[in-house]
Amino acid sequence: MSLIEITEVKKRFGDNEVLKGINIDVEPGEVIAIIGKSGSGKSTLLRCINGLETIDEGSISVAGAQLLPDELHLKALRLKVGMIFQQFNLFPHLSAGKNVMLSQMVVKKTPKAEAEEMAKKMLERVGLGHKFDAYPDQLSGGQQQRVAIARALAMEPIALLCDEITSALDPELVNEVLAVVKELASEGMTLLMVTHEMRFARDVCSRVVFMHMGRVHEIGRPEDVFANPKTPELKQFLGMQH
């Protein structure tokens, strides 16, 4: 059994079918890049995996937790997959440390001292141990995104979903975030990331998923997908016009 099983998933927004039957199985420790044009359904797919969007058909399960639309099942699922957003979404009224502590205390009922210790450890892990007391608006975009990663990690998920996590960053801040992700990948974390960083996808990922018009158009190892795209759509997307 795979860690994440996505089976025949369909999703409609009104008349617009954005996912037209998606099948992907993810093994533990895999790092998967989802690439594609905007509107191809890649972000929607990621948001479905932790229940931020409901699905109309098919099924999604993560380590045995099924995606079902009630709060109990959603919570069980979300405890297994963390999510990191393009806009960081840190809580502005809490310091970096409190951002990492909050969900541990509220959701897992972790005692404060323990949550604080975990928060320190996780901030240390993303290189921000010294920013425990800083508020989000005192941090750069790259630092905020690393706090968001620490916040997700503190819940001890078995997989992380990254939704264009470097797209809102200034170019010089992209690398510090990618370095953290690379580190996580090398430690064996299962990662699904929607990304436009093709070089990163090629260097770090175990598989690349190319989505087009709501379908998985091509899937394979990065060296194959990038060097020998089979379909004209992927060739065009990669800028190979011959």
Partner 1 sequence: MNYAFDYGWLLEYWPVLLKGLAITVELTLVGGVFGVALGVACAWARALGPKWLRPIVTTYVEMIRNTPFLIQLFFIFFGLPSLGVRLGELEAANLAMIINLGAYGCEIVRAGIQATPKGQFEAGASLGMSRIQTFWYVVLIPALQRIWPALSSQIVIVMLGSAAVSQIAAEDLTFAANFIQSRTFRAFEAYFVSTAIYLALAIALRQMLRGLGWSLFPKRSGR
Judged by CB, which is closer to partner 1: 1, or 72?
Answer: 72
The count of other CB atoms within 10 Å of the CB of residue 132 is: 18
Judged by CB, which is closer to partner 1: 106, or 227?
Answer: 106
Q: Least CB distance from residue 227 to partner 1, whole Å?
A: 35
**CA-wise closest residue to 21 among 230, 225, 215:** 215
Q: Least CB distance from residue 73 to partner 1, whole Å?
A: 12
Q: Least CB distance from residue 204 to partner 1, whole Å?
A: 23
The reply on whether position 13 binds partner 1 by CB under 8 A is no
Q: How far apart are the first and last CA of the chain?
A: 40
Binding-site size for partner 1 (CB under 8 A) equals 32
Q: Least CB distance from residue 167 to partner 1, whole Å?
A: 14
Pair of tokens at residue 164:
């264009």
Stretch that binds partner 1, among 34-42, 75-83, 199-207, 224-232 (CB under 8 A): 75-83
Judged by CB, which is closer to partner 1: 93, or 242?
Answer: 93
Starting at the edge strand found earlier in the chain, the sheet holding 31-36 runs 81-84, 159-163, 190-194, 31-36, 207-212, 215-220
What distance in Å separates the CA atoms of residue 2 and residue 129, rounded to the nearest whole number?
Answer: 35
The reply on whether position 52 binds partner 1 by CB under 8 A is yes
Q: Least CB distance from residue 128 to partner 1, whole Å?
A: 17
What phi and psi values does residue 198 have, to the nearest 5 degrees?
A: -65, -40
Residue keyed to tokens 């809102």: 168
* AA letter at 34: I
Judged by CB, which is closer to partner 1: 32, or 154?
Answer: 154
For 227, the enclosing helix (H) or strand (E) is helix 222-227
**CA-wise closest residue to 19 among 209, 193, 215, 233:** 215
Q: Least CB distance from residue 98 to partner 1, whole Å?
A: 10
Whether residue 95 contacts residue 132, with contact meaning beta carbons closer than 8 Å, is answered with yes
What distance in Å separates the CA atoms of residue 188 and residue 164, rounded to the nearest whole number?
Answer: 21
Residues 84-123 that bind partner 1 (CB under 8 A): 85, 87, 89-95, 102-103, 106-108
Taking CB under 8 A as the rule, which mask of x and - marks residues 132-171 in contact with partner 1? ---xxxx---------x--xx--x----------------
**CA-wise closest residue to 118 among 168, 234, 107:** 107
Q: Least CB distance from residue 85 to partner 1, whole Å?
A: 6
Binding interface with partner 1 (CB under 8 A): 50-52, 71, 74-75, 78-79, 82-83, 85, 87, 89-95, 102-103, 106-108, 135-138, 148, 151-152, 155
